[in-house]
Structure 1
């Protein structure tokens, strides 16, 4: 491992994307990615993995476009398959959401994103489960897509390894080593020291734990993200488009002949990152609603008005995992004033899969001392000064960010 002076902590999709972009810039032989378990085996694999440009936050648009460019490169140059399904997305609105959807369409058209108006019969044919006739607006964004998140993360990592990146599993971080005002390496829980000029914190839902070792804080917390998968049914064509329904606080996409759908709770649940186990299987975010039934019951009336067969098709699976939300809706990218060599790539606000390539590129450019292709200033980890990442007040603010976010 001699000469590997860039250590990435975390082998989920963000860590893998950072490694990939460093490798593509010719730095692969310097990079060691450390993961305590299996790469892409934690929160990455639990994501719904929508990869869409149609979003209100234009700061994310170049990051998403970089991800799509990366996917094209991984497929064409590395022969990787990431499960990309470019099925498009239908956004619908009835009442109070119509004006917002019209604004989104105008903004997207101005950004060069294709948008089509759909008639009721056309929308109904594409989404047989949707009560399309009751919708005032039915807009189709043909380039929207989703991926298999495990496959994309694995493709990033394999491509990075082919360009020189080394990967170490079973590495449990215990300390970040610092001399003066700069990072000098990391130490594992087993006592192994690895010297490094650069440490990249890409630990996802656990990312706040690493800076906390140095008395530093990230303005983010893990917040429950959950979705349900129906039973297989003829209402759900396998190549159907994604659906975005702001008035039901819902999104949906096809899932092997079933329907995967998510609901944004009015009161989201955040957890102290110190509570998260390494293995998320069976982890309960909310003891009062461990299987998400209360959340589904609360959201069902609004969803049922768009999805009349909701009660008939049945629910086959419930999936929950941690997404990292910040107090202000910006990401957490870059370094800390007064400490050289430590960089963070996290705080994705539910857009980690979609923005993974852009995040990887930005952090890779920062590590290499280059001007990033987007302005990282709004996303600096220390932009809000010190705020205790484990304080109940911060957890509540991060949970509120998820609840306030519009689907899509």
Structure 2
């Protein structure tokens, strides 16, 4: 065991071969298990050099990654663990854009150039009272607060274009787009959801925002360029009663994954965000639902950095990794009924997935490292800048066009049953 500070500890374990380490909080016994101790959000910095998680009771802990780095062990103050006291429960957090290369501190080159100090990495924290606090990661200072939301700030995301633009979703039924370069004084409000907005994400070309409403069952697309509503995606879930929980764009922006759950099942829909066509559906049926009510909800989903896999966290604390286009999971950890899984996040370089739990802990899992095929790499590069509407008129063979537009996914999925009597359908 190696200590990572006064408020947390790192514990290796052999209970699951995919589990690398578990980060546990050191809180007073009087606070264990009480409401407010949940890890609602985790995130890696864009360069992969830092990891942050909301450890409950208004505290956020930031540690240098990897956790056993030489700088941390040698007492480098710039790379020391940091804690931020937010005063209210933290529901969402996100690192700001990657600093300029000349100032960036990366895993491979951890020390900034001589005479220069990297102090520009920001961390945004969304609080239960609707306030968003912006922190300077290296100095530990609170930079400024953003006011406007009237409910829990459930999710935060920075676009990948390097600008100081922050998108937030809230239980007040709105999304807000903040310009941090002007300390949030310039803000755009996106209204249209009829209930809580549980999650939002941004396409890789920074042209679209997707949001899901937990109770209004709406999947909405918005323009990040004009700040206007584009469309709602319909025809996803066929149940009359279901809840939407999460969404994520693929790294090339050509796919949008949304997660929902209802009764004894949960499912993931894959959409073409340009045409609003539903391309595929993965359905998982829980056979022990009536004995274990509430333990089958999808909490979060996220595409891997190379776009080959989709990480899925459910309330049984298990991590499942699905390769779109194949039946079953390429990885599934052992369920743990003692605590619920709430969030997940891939390391920017892949290979590791962090998951947060209801008891305020964080687990790091070894994720599959699949080498992308040349065809997949070509498709990803092409689709990053070419929309479906631009692809369809091209004089390409049908098979190639279907591959480039992901229309071949349903053909490769078949109804089946796993060894645990789980049903997969399309």
Pairwise same-fold verdict (TM > 0.5): no
> Which fold has the larger relative contact order, with Cα–Cα distance below 8 Å and residues 6 or more apart in sequence?
1
Under a length normalisation based on structure 1, what TM-score does the superposition of the two structures give? 0.27
Point out the structure with the larger strand share.
Answer: 2
Under a length normalisation based on structure 2, what TM-score does the superposition of the two structures give? 0.26
Point out the structure with the larger helix share.
Answer: 1
